[in-house]
């Protein structure tokens, strides 16, 4: 999977609904315990998504944009207007930013004065991402940033219109509330810790510059 379009749990097949734990375990092993969309480790936390005739394992960040009706049991995030990035890129960025915040003291020590620049960049990006929710309401319709409202709209579409939703939802992405993934972040820690502190500075700065958020 290389693209995530905002979706709801609609028209799922009987085979998918009847998937048992043994079959789920086989699917995770088949994908080497990696998310089929972003390749992050899913050994401990995974969900399953039906794409055409295939059933694939996903990490929570890639799963919920495809099943926004399931996020209601958590602290809702927001729908934002962000055509510059794919959902997978946004997920990776949010994960990296959250990791840096969790490791704040370690990174501050390792990077010394340079860490302040990274922290400032993260703060600015977070503010600007939240402002993109207002842009979604402005350019689409009032309330479209509300995940529950969008979920109801998608369920109400005819099958034909639902299949064409990518055009109607152009540029809209799901911005996760990362407080939902405290346990998952611990699981991702090993993978994220492979990157040295100075690499994170370049990553965050690159994201900011590529989106022209920091002039």
Question: Per-10-residue mean pLDDT for the chain, 215 residues long?
Answer: 91 86 92 92 92 91 94 81 91 87 76 72 84 91 91 94 94 94 84 66 61 47
The whole-number pLDDT of residue 213 equals 45
d(CA 12, CA 8): 10
| Residues 6+ away with beta carbon under 8 Å from 194 | none
Return the number of other C-beta atoms located less than 10 Å from residue 136's C-beta: 24
Output b/e per residue, 59-68; b: 16+ Cβ within 10 A: bbbbbbbbbb
CA 30 to centroid of chain Cα atoms: 23
What's the pLDDT at 141? Answer: 87
The pLDDT value recorded for residue 200 is 62
Q: Is the CB of residue 205 less than 8 Å from the CB of residue 121?
A: yes
Tell which residue, 124, 126, 116, has the closest CA to residue 90.
126
- pLDDT value at position 215? 44
Q: How far apart are CA 107 and CA 119, in angstroms?
A: 10
What pLDDT was estimated at residue 109? 77
CA distances (Å), origin 133, targets 92, 130, 209: 19, 6, 20
CB 178 within 8 A of CB 99: no
pLDDT value, residue 214: 39
Q: What is the model's pTM?
A: 0.86
């Amino acid at each position: 999977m290389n693209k995530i379009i905002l979706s709801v749990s609609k028209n799922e097949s009987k085979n998918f609904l009847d998937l048992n734990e043994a079959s789920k375990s086989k699917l995770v092993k088949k994908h080497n315990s990696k998310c089929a969309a972003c390749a992050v480790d899913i050994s401990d936390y995974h969900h399953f998504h039906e794409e055409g005739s295939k059933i694939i394992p996903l990490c929570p960040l890639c799963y919920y944009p495809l099943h926004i009706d399931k996020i209601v049991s958590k602290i809702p995030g927001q729908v934002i207007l962000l055509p510059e990035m794919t959902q997978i890129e946004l997920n990776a960025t949010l994960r990296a930013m959250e990791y840096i915040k969790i490791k704040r003291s370690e990174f501050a020590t390792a990077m010394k004065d340079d860490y302040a620049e990274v922290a400032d960049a993260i703060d600015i990006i977070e503010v600007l991402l939240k402002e993109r929710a207002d842009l979604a309401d402005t350019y689409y319709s009032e309330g479209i940033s509300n995940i529950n409202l969008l979920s109801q709209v998608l369920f109400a579409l005819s099958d034909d219109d639902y299949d064409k939703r990518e055009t109607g939802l152009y540029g809209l992405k799901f911005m996760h509330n990362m407080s939902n993934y405290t346990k998952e972040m611990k699981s991702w820690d090993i993978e994220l810790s492979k990157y040295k502190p100075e690499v994170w500075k370049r990553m965050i700065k690159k994201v900011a510059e590529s989106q022209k958020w920091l002039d």
